[in-house]
Chains A and B, each alone.
Chain A
């Protein structure tokens, strides 16, 4: 099954900027981008962005998504302690008629 690749972990300093990557995206959805989720331990995931930076109501502008070539990215500016979480990318694979997920990235805020 086709999948998306995310780095297992990323660390960045408080108030700095972190960029999380998700590769394999162009094989699946072309330029439609990924869906990004944030998950804190013991909690359901939260939608951060869908289809090229469409943020749900209530999601901070510090979170922005983009796609370039084969890679989707989630950029988090002004890192806060509460941003420490697991982040997942996902996309609809029209050839499989299935949602595919990356393995997730654990973001540590130093």
Chain B
């Protein structure tokens, strides 16, 4: 059964670094782009960025300066790093393969001062 499982720190302080990892089970990394998205409480979805099996990335221009997505094909995992977080980064973060309809369970990341 194909599924995504994600994990990472859920409580951060202002200026700290957010780190999340997503493992892909039951599907090869190849031929797909793997995305990170987020959803602030009560608000809509925002795409953060994506990576493919070759390590090629695309990022949301509004977040690009603080975001890095990496991949570990040996573990079938990809990761998100977001630096210098603020309260505005408080959101549920999802990993996903958008066009294939695969989504992680979502993790709430709260940034407090």
Are A and B subunits of one complex?
Answer: yes
Contacts of B59 in A (CB 8 A): 98
Decide yes or no whether A47 CB sits under 8 A from chain B.
yes
The number of inter-chain residue pairs (CB within 8 angstroms) is 53
Interface centre among A86, A97, A103 (most CB of B within 10 A): A97
Q: Which residues of A sit under 8 angstroms from B46, Cβ to Cβ?
A: 101
How many residues of chain B get a CB closer than 8 Å to chain A's CBs?
21
Report how many residues on chain A are interfacial, defined by Cβ distance under 8 Å. Answer: 22
When distances are taken between beta carbons in the complex, the residues of chain B under 8 Å from A86 are: 44
B46-70 with Cβ < 8 A to chain A: 46-47, 50, 58-62
Which of B58, B94, B99, B103 is A98 in contact with, Cβ under 8 Å?
Answer: B58
A residues less than 8 Å from B94 (CB atoms): 44-45
Query: 14 additional contacts, CB 8 Å, given A98-B60, A99-B50, A102-B44?
Result: A35-B99, A44-B94, A44-B96, A44-B103, A46-B101, A46-B103, A90-B47, A98-B59, A98-B61, A99-B35, A101-B45, A101-B47, A103-B44, A104-B45
